[in-house]
Structure 1
Amino acid sequence: MSTALPCPELPPAPAAVVRTAGSGDVEAVRRLSGPFVREGSLRERTAAELALAATDFLVVEAGRGDLAGCVGLRARTDARGGPAAVLYNFCVAPGHQGRGIGSALLAAALGEAGARGATRVFTATTGSGLLFLRYGFTPGGDEEAPPVWRASLDPARGSRILVRALG
């Protein structure tokens, strides 16, 4: 995940409109994710995998069929057997970073996770995680994280697990 501070040379973005992705957004999610996959901050997912998970994604449109940002949200059961959610494939296009899109996506994802009954939200990041930390995530939670999701993390990527309680 790439986190960025606001760029003073960019005009503020209009209020980001977050919506649930549909099957028509699969190619745009793949294009948006591509540079982050190449730099190693996101795990590669095939078009078929993205198509199966299309409605997991919340997106912000950039226009002309492109996306400014996306995040996947999947319900899981944590290691204690409690309702949890996992955020994944969180990215904001470089030309849109620092303009509130990541914050809008994260706020919407946390709201949706709570509406689905999750009591904790987990994510993994190879970056600084500053945006997550600003939204109340804390490092750790490795042992409490959903076991299936935790097992899918590649230790070679050096991801850190972050967790946030909802309530």
Structure 2
Amino acid sequence: MITATPRTAPRSARTPLPAALPVRTAKPRDAAALSALSRPFVRSGALRARPFSRYLADAADFLLVEATDGTLEGCLGLGVHPADPARGHGPAGVLYNFCVAPRSQGRGIGAMLLRGALLRANSLGLTSLFTATTGGGALFLRHGFAPADAGRAPADWANSLSPRRNSRILARAL
């Protein structure tokens, strides 16, 4: 995952977004828009490829922000992993498929999604959040994440990360 791609227009040339776009939970009917928004990030190598069926099945994992015209501006998945008492870990969340439409980058959409994910994680009683990024992860670092060892992360998720992507794991205690 990466939190930025080449921009389509300079920031000064973009129209500001309304101050309060709501973050909402995706529904299965949003799967096509989630897949379409993610596709350029997959092509660039910033996101792992996921079949449409995953977006459909996992729609409730996603938070999204829509423009007032219904256009999808960004999305972020929050997968929940049960506690692992054998490893001394409580229930954890994994943030994935984080992307913001290039036209909306630099406008606070990513921060809105991340704040929404933190609120959801707290409401679910998760004890920590993890993500993997191929970029610098500046947004995560500004929101209390720090580099973490894969051994602290949910084992099934950490084992699914491709070493070829050279991802960096970031974590935040809740």
What is the TM-score normalised by the length of structure 2?
Answer: 0.89
Whether 1:20 aligns to 2:48 is no
Aligned equivalents of 1:141, 1:89: Cα separation in 2: 20
Work out which of the residue numbers 111, 115, 131 in structure 2 matches 1:123.
131
Q: Secondary structure at the match of 2:11?
A: coil
Partner of 2:95: 87
Partner of 1:153: 161
- Contact 1:3-1:129 within 8 A present in 2 as well: no
Partner of 1:47: 52
Query: RMSD in angstroms over aligned alpha carbons?
Result: 1.8
Distance 1:140 1:7, change over 3 A: same
Pick the structure with greater CA Rg. 2
Partner of 1:134: 142
- Contact 2:21-2:67 within 8 A present in 1 as well: no
Work out which of the residue numbers 59, 66, 70 in structure 1 matches 2:64.
59
Aligned equivalents of 1:141, 1:30: Cα separation in 2: 30
The alignment-based identity, stated in percent, is 52
Count of aligned pairs: 166
- Contact 1:68-1:101 within 8 A present in 2 as well: yes
- Contact 1:69-1:102 within 8 A present in 2 as well: yes
Q: Secondary structure at the match of 1:128?
A: coil
The Cα of 1:34 is off from its aligned counterpart by 0.4
Aligned equivalents of 2:151, 2:67: Cα separation in 1: 38
Partner of 1:106: 114
Letter in 1 for 2:173: A
Partner of 1:69: 74
Q: Which runs of at least 4 in structure 1 moved beyond 6 Å after TM superposition?
A: none
The Cα of 1:119 is off from its aligned counterpart by 1.1
CA offsets per residue over residues 103-129 of structure 1, 9 Å max, x none? 000000011001000111000011110
Aligned equivalents of 2:143, 2:12: Cα separation in 1: 22
The Cα of 1:65 is off from its aligned counterpart by 4.6
Aligned equivalents of 1:32, 1:52: Cα separation in 2: 17
